[in-house]
Chain A
């Protein structure tokens, strides 16, 4: 069950979550498309943001404070079309007391990479 209503509403599902790592998948629907017949870049970046936020939550633990995306970049290497299964994996690469960095990749079911992204999170400490 996804805690993010926005990503949940896209029909994405959470496939795996463990400390510092998460994986989501989504079958591209007609209403996920951007211009032409390719998936909208916003679908991919939304999944990257959420995948990494979940990976970070798993790493920090449920008792930790909130974390918020403050910077994101993504490179779109190829596209996906209606009916394609897209998998997004995210891994936290560095964690400090105040900031965390993660990298995400999106693949089609044939294993072809279609996007790479990096997200920076600002961390709050848990309140007593």
Chain B
């Protein structure tokens, strides 16, 4: 089901080359093709690329459940995140991040994200995010 309203990608995710592949109620998928610009001094993907994509994807999936108009009236913001970096990725790899909502309440929302390599499906990272809904009330 498509959520009502239009969901726009954030400026920072656009800057680093992220692309929204799917935005449906309860599922958001982003992708990014890694370049040298995404690397750390070890020559592999910087962890900040993953945390950026996951934050965006989970924020998006919570928006998809709440509805875009509801979100605009009472935005949600990340308050807590935890990410495990499981394996590395290199320039040329495509990273796919899929986010699902665990629970969307009145004042808080919880979601998870999985990042995988497009070529072989290997899990690169897993994350869990907590958002607070500003102005949320019963």
Contact = CB atoms under 8 A, between A and B. Distances in A.
Interface in B57-85: 59, 75, 77-85
Contact of A70 (B39, B56, B85): B85
Contacts of B13: 34, 40, 42
A4 B78 contact: no
Contacts of A68: 42, 85, 88
A72 interface: yes
Contacts of A3: 40-41
Contacts, number: 127
B112 interface: no
Given A36-B75, A68-B42, A73-B80, A31 B51 contact: no
B85 A71 contact: yes
Nearest to B18: A42
Interface residues of A, number: 37
B1 interface: no
A17 interface: no
Interface in B1-59: 10-16, 36-42, 46-49, 51-53, 55-56, 59
Interface string A32-47: 1111101111110111
8 contacts: A5-B46, A33-B11, A34-B56, A39-B12, A41-B81, A47-B48, A53-B40, A71-B84
Interface of A: 3-7, 9, 30-36, 38-43, 45-47, 49-50, 53, 66, 68-77, 79
